[in-house]
Amino acid sequence: MLMSNHMKKSVPSMITKVKARQILDSRGIPTVEVDLYTNKGMFRASAPSGASSGMYEAIELRDGDKGTYLGNGVSRAVRNVNEKISEALIGMDPTLQSQIDQAMIDLDRTEKKESQLVFTRPLLHFSNLFLPLRESAFWEFFFQSELGANAILAVSMAACKAGAAEKEVPLYKHIAVLSGNTNLSLPIPAFTLISGGKYAANFLPVKQIMILPIGARQFEEALQMGSETYHHLKAVISKKYGTDGCSVGEDGGFAPSITSIREGLDLVKEAIGRTGYSEKLKIAIDVDATEFCIGTKYDLDFKSPNKSDQNFKSGEDMINIYKELCSDYPIVSIEDPFDKEDWEHAKHFSNLGICQVVGDDLLMSNTKRIERAVEESACNALLLKVNQIGTVTEAIENVKLAKDAHWGVVISQRSGETEDAFIADLCVGLAVSQIKAGAPCRGERLAKYNQLLRIEEDLGDQAVYVGDDWRLS
User: Which residues participate in catalysis according to the annotation?
Assistant: 251, 385
For residue 299, the tally of other CB atoms under 10 A from its CB is 20
Measured between alpha carbons, how far is 270 from 254 in angstroms, rounded to an integer? 15
**CA dist 206 → 260, 262, 276, 293, 394 (Å):** 9, 11, 27, 12, 30
CA atoms of 293 and 298, how far apart (whole Å): 4
31 HSE (CA, 13 A, CB side): 30
Binding residues: 288, 335, 360
Contact 59, 49 (CB under 8 A): no
Q: Under a CB-based contact definition with an 8 Å cutoff, are residues 93 and 36 in contact?
A: no
Q: For 436, phi and psi rounded to 5 degrees?
A: -115, 100
- Residue 277: count of CB within 10 angstroms of its CB: 20
> 15 pairs with which residues across the strands?
38
The identity of residue 140, as a single letter, is E
Contact status, residue 265 vs residue 186, Cβ threshold 8 Å: no
For residue 169, give the DSSP letter: S
C-alpha to C-alpha distance for 204 and 277, rounded to whole angstroms: 26
Q: Which residues contact 30 (CB under 8 A, 6 or more apart)?
A: 22, 23, 24, 69, 72, 73, 74
Alpha carbons within 13 A on the beta-carbon side of 72: 15
Beta-bridged to residue 212, according to DSSP, are 282
Query: Which H or E element spans position 366?
Result: none
As annotated, the binding site for Mg(2+) includes 288, 335, 360
Residue 23: strand, helix, or coil:
strand
Read off the amino acid at residue 146. Answer: E
CA 52 from chain centre, in angstroms, equals: 12
Length of the chain: 473
